[in-house]
Amino acid sequence: MDFKLTEEHEMIRQAARDFANNELKPGVIERDENEEFPKEQIKKLGELGFMGMMASPDYGGGGMDTVSYVLAMEELSKIDASASVVVSVNNSLVCWGLDTYGSEEQKKKYLSKLTTGEKIGAFCLSEPEAGSDATSQKTTAIDMGDHYVINGTKNWITNGNSASVYLVIAHTDKDKKHRGINAFIMEKNMEGFVVGPKERKMGIRGSDTHSLTFNDVKVPKENRIGEDGFGFKFAMKTLAGGRIGIAAQALGIAAGAYELAKSYSKIRKAFGTEIMNHQAIAFKLADMHTSIEAARHMVMKAAWDKDNGLNYDLSGAMAKLYASQVAMDVTIEAVQVHGGNGYVREYHVERMMRDAKITQIYEGTSEIQKIVISRSILAD
């Protein structure tokens, strides 16, 4: 067993850490307040190779492993979870899905622009009446020979307006249930593709979340991903990896809040001494550090499973379930360590507490992770 990172991993982590501190930190409070998408920052992340880290170099990707990806996700999320969700969706859902299951033509046309950040991608599974219960999709794609006609509504779509390439899950044959579901590549400029208003959110307010409506959108047949009926498996397999990315995001939010709380405890004085000298505060920091370290091991193990060709459905779901709970617990305690200052914007931890909550909801709620985990452990 070897817990040591390679030199390359260390370099990637340092590059992400530098970017987060130099490029994301300035303006992070204002972007949250103004619900402003980090457009310039995402462009730079693309130029630096952070938007298609695991994708094949043949299509502009970095050809890196999942461990590198989660190291970068942790560092970016320590500072700005709104930016890191954009990175996460583009890398682990859109680029990975296309790289792994897309045709040569699809990769040439779409992937090579998504890996460089020239275009941003979105992953569209959820609907008003199909969130956790993802097989009860209502969006339809009717086979018209050389093209499909797509009708329906997706909601909660991250990068909803800033994206231009969308992976959309739709029913082609409702009688076949989940085996009659397909995945399609859609473009924003297709006729009948309508972006709805932006959601007003509790956290990750710098990311743009929209509903999308498709009114008789014609999608060429060559834009279907994989064999007919592969769409639900495509979504599940892609999400299994995506959940490792969100687990790393949760880990980063927790680690960022912990670092701020630790620093603050060393400078803030109460009752004639720095608050770190009160055992109640020191024990909070001890608990935070321990749970973050446990979450980091779980995230790394899931990434390692994926990199080594092992099944990562279970380890990824456990990592997301645990790390997202740690993100919630640690950010709440980080606010507490800051006292009144924790409740105001300039100290960052109140934003982190708001940002942490989403990690228990998207890419499968905590309850859904428990379904995945329990089915897996009870199967043998």
List of residues contacting ligand CAA (CB under 6 A): 85, 89, 123, 125-126, 132, 134-135, 158, 178-179, 232-233, 236-237, 239-240, 313, 362-364, 368, 371-372
CB of 335 to ligand CAA, least distance (A): 24
Q: Which stretch binds ligand FAD (CB under 6 A): 75-83, 105-113, 249-257, 365-373?
A: 365-373
First to last CA, the chain: 26
Q: Which of 51, 95, 125, 170 binds ligand FAD (CB under 6 A)?
A: 125
Alpha helices in 24-178 (DSSP H): 28-34, 39-47, 66-79, 81-88, 96-101, 104-106, 112-114
- Does 157 bind ligand FAD (CB under 6 A)? Our answer is yes
Residue closer to ligand CAA (CB basis): 117 or 242: 242
- Does 153 bind ligand FAD (CB under 6 A)? Our answer is no
Tokens representing residue 199 in the block:
């959601």
Contacts of 300 (CB under 8 A, 6+ apart): 67, 70
Which residues, numbered 183-212, are part of the site for ligand FAD (CB under 6 A)? 201, 204, 209
Our measurement of the distance from residue 28's CA atom to the centroid of its chain's CA atoms, rounded to an integer in Å, reads 18
Phi-psi region of 56 (alpha: psi -120 to 50; beta: other; left: phi over 0): beta
Q: Which of 50, 59, 69, 123 binds ligand FAD (CB under 6 A)?
A: 123
Crossing angle of the two packed helices 279-307 and 231-267, in degrees rounded to 10: 150
Q: Which of 88, 158, 164, 359 binds ligand FAD (CB under 6 A)?
A: 158
**Which partner from the list ligand CAA, ligand FAD, none does 124 bind, CB cut-off 5 to 8 Å by kind?**
ligand FAD
Residue closer to ligand CAA (CB basis): 188 or 237: 237
- Does 124 bind ligand FAD (CB under 6 A)? Our answer is yes
Q: Which stretch binds ligand FAD (CB under 6 A): 29-37, 118-126, 244-252, 257-265?
A: 118-126
Residue closer to ligand FAD (CB basis): 69 or 347: 69
Residue closer to ligand FAD (CB basis): 92 or 126: 126
**Which partner from the list ligand CAA, ligand FAD, none does 63 bind, CB cut-off 5 to 8 Å by kind?**
none
- Does 126 bind ligand FAD (CB under 6 A)? Our answer is yes
CA distances from 136 to 132, 174, 201 (A): 9, 9, 25
Crossing angle of the two packed helices 349-358 and 81-88, in degrees rounded to 10: 30
* DSSP conformation class of 136: -
CA distances from 174 to 73, 119, 154, 178, 347 (A): 37, 32, 17, 8, 51
**Which partner from the list ligand FAD, ligand CAA, none does 290 bind, CB cut-off 5 to 8 Å by kind?**
none
Give the count of beta carbons closer than 10 Å to the beta carbon of residue 379.
7
Angle at 236 between CA 146 and CA 80, to 5 degrees: 105
Give the count of beta carbons closer than 10 Å to the beta carbon of residue 74.
29
**Which partner from the list ligand FAD, ligand CAA, none does 240 bind, CB cut-off 5 to 8 Å by kind?**
ligand CAA
CB of 219 to ligand FAD, least distance (A): 18
User: Is residue 161 a contact partner of residue 210, using CB atoms and an 8 Å limit?
Assistant: yes
Residue 204: closest CA among 359, 347, 57: 359
Of residues 227, 346, 363, 367, which has the active-site annotation? Answer: 363
- Does 311 bind ligand FAD (CB under 6 A)? Our answer is no
CB of 370 to ligand FAD, least distance (A): 8
What secondary structure does DSSP assign to 179-196, as a single string?
GGEEEEEEETTSTTEEEE
Distance CA 351, CA 330 (A): 13
Establish whether 367 is a catalytic residue: no
Q: Which of 132, 263, 311, 374 binds ligand FAD (CB under 6 A)?
A: 132
**Which partner from the list ligand FAD, ligand CAA, none does 209 bind, CB cut-off 5 to 8 Å by kind?**
ligand FAD
Q: Which residues are catalytic?
A: 363
Chain residues binding ligand FAD by CB under 6 A are 89, 122-126, 131-133, 156-158, 201, 204, 209, 358, 361-365, 367-368
